Amino acid sequence: MSLASSSRSDSSSFTQIYQALPPDVQTDLIENHLLPLLDVLPKERSKHIISIASRKQKRYAGMPLLNYDAKATEINGLLYELDRDAKRSLLKERSNREELLEETMQSLASWMNDIWSVVYEYQTNFMLAHKCLLLAARTLDTLSLSRGGCKCSFMNMYVSVVIKQKSGKTVKSFHLTGAHNFDRVLSWIWRDLFLSVLAAGNERQKKQVPQMLHEIEEANGWPSLERILCGGRLFMNDDDDVTDCGDDDDAWEDEISDEGSLLEHSRHCPFHSEHWSNTISLQMAPLRRLVEKHLMKIFSVTPSVGLYSAVQAITADPDIAQARLIQLAQDGALTCSDSFVAALDIFTLENRPDRVCSLLDSGSHLLRPRDATSLQEAVSLVSNNRLLRPRVLPIVEKELLDTARGIKAALLSPFVHMLDPQKLVEMKQITALLPGSSTRQDRVEQWVDSVTTPGSNAPHPMAFAAMMMGIPLPAADAVDPDPMGFLELDQNDPDLEDLRDEFRPKMKERFEGWRETAVLVGGGSTTLVKVYKEVVQMMPFLEAGDIVDEILNRLSDKPSKHHVCDALEEVHAFVKKQRKKLAIAADKLRRREARQASAAEASSASPSSRGSTSPPGNALPTGLVGIASFPMSSHFGGIEDVD
């Protein structure tokens, strides 16, 4: 017994030492030290070892060779040619981009069957196969981001991949429209790889699965892990995903040549594939737990509502997972703005108005302008609670006024003098003129010219010096170049969010969203009237439609100010609508007072009407308190003056 224990201890120690050695040293140790021991072992023992080696040789005979280095060299060469072609196409009319893309994708597609066969049929070389799949994933990413003009050839390329067993039987066929959908093939093979590791791998290989999941997440993002569990499909939106990409209706069904019916549940279960053995199928639950654990780890660091939904979709115990996710979101909500917005979105999704209010009380300072949509949804949720509703209107009013101040600040950059006291006096004089007259139009143009920031159209200093030397200035470009145009190249790039907030804030969308939120909230109409008064005092020119139109015309010539144009149009439309509502309300009030006055005169003339209890003529109807006290412009003549 002690001898066996000592033997196990020696083998365990040797295994640890062997695994820590470099590959070359491992080979040297086997060839020069272990193999010679076969000559000194008893004959029967030596024959037994040789017999085991022979069986393994027969087992792996015919296994495809995954020559990673050769394939990497081939792919890198094609990518290099694509880069050269992008440069040559600038000078030559002929481009080979489409042919090079097809050759690259064909090279990857022809490699997939070998990778799957190695990991599923031969159940070996798992790490090498994983490395090959990562190479394919990185190649796809490089192709999707490569320069060279239009992406149509890449996004509409037809890619066909057929996975066959070594017997020739078709296991799976993929018919994809768009090379970017090739990641479905990778996810399907990765799933079989992980299941094979868990079913046939040793302990060392099984311990490498979390690291492999981490590498996939780093290469393709966490959504790729959800796709792996579902064999390349999205669990939450399977049918739409297939239809959008233009696949065949049967692209996700196994092509089985054997006769016999297929189990109906296996056709639709996202966590099942028909070619699996029972041993492989049993490993799906452990794989789901590993993926869920990894996604939980990501969520604890960078929470998001999408990741929250993904974990809920793949977990085997939704209640426990939900409780843990909500607690993680609560614990990390105040660490940064992204975490705060994620927690706000999650509590809104789960209909937790109490948690939303608690979160806003403790961390509203973390909200950014681009988080307006999340805050609007949260406010709408809280407004449905009768007890919490009074907390909503101050938030709506504050956000509307903050957005209006942002629009005002953006307008002061090209029109620095528009709020000068003298210019405001001139503007009031202009509004007193007859609308549509040529005199008023001339005064409007002169006023906008006078408030424009000086030097905004001044020539470059070098051009000005050349002009002073007698060299004429070149003709101005028809369109003012937009120095921040690159911000619109990729709307989904999170690295550009901060720059967009500073140089291209979505003020129109923000103001419009809060205006719509106010309409849905009880008492929001009163808040909109208050905001209208504040906005008109903040930017008096908004009540003069022709002045606003002239400002918009000046801004429309500058692409870098188009977002300001959109915001100004939105605020101007809001002012016009509120002014029209006030005019209608005031007109109704006057008519009601007139009717009440007539009724009072008639009742006073009739003896039978002495006991009448008619309300006084100056009483305001419910909901219009404060309207009569709002100072209308002297030139405003009622609803007929609303343009």
Q: State phi, psi for 53 to the nearest 5 degrees.
A: -65, -40
Provide the sign of the torsion angle of the four alpha carbons 250, 256, 259, 265, taken in this order.
Answer: negative
DSSP 247-264: --TTTTS----S-SPPPH
What was the pLDDT predicted at 586? Answer: 87
The residue among 579, 635, 641, 578 whose CA lies nearest residue 431 is 635
Tokens of 113: 């069957």
Report yes or no: 434 and 440 within 8 Å, Cβ to Cβ: yes
Single pTM value for the model: 0.78
Tokens of 52: 């085991």
Tokens of 43: 């004959």
DSSP 277-316: -HHHHTTHHHHHHHHHHHHHHHHHHS--HHHHHHHHHH-S
What was the pLDDT predicted at 292? Answer: 96
Report yes or no: 102 and 110 within 8 Å, Cβ to Cβ: no
Placement of tokens 């975490």 in the chain? 339
Low-confidence ranges of the chain (pLDDT < 50): 1-4, 236-267, 458, 476-480, 486, 609-643
Residue 161's DSSP bridge partners are: 174
Tokens of 592: 């009601």
Placement of tokens 């528009």 in the chain? 418
What was the pLDDT predicted at 258? Answer: 37
Rounded to an integer, what distance in angstroms lies between the CA atom of residue 529 and that of residue 540?
Answer: 15
Report yes or no: 311 and 325 within 8 Å, Cβ to Cβ: yes
Residue 174's DSSP bridge partners are: 161
Residue 176's DSSP bridge partners are: 159
3-state secondary structure of 359: helix
Looking at 149-252, list the stretches that DSSP marks H as alpha helix, in order from N- to C-terminal side.
152-155, 183-200, 203-207, 209-220, 223-229, 238-244
Q: How buried is residue 642: exposed, middle or buried, by Cβ count under 10 Å (0-12/13-18/19+)?
A: middle
3-state secondary structure of 365: helix
Tokens of 237: 């939106």
Report yes or no: 210 and 289 within 8 Å, Cβ to Cβ: no
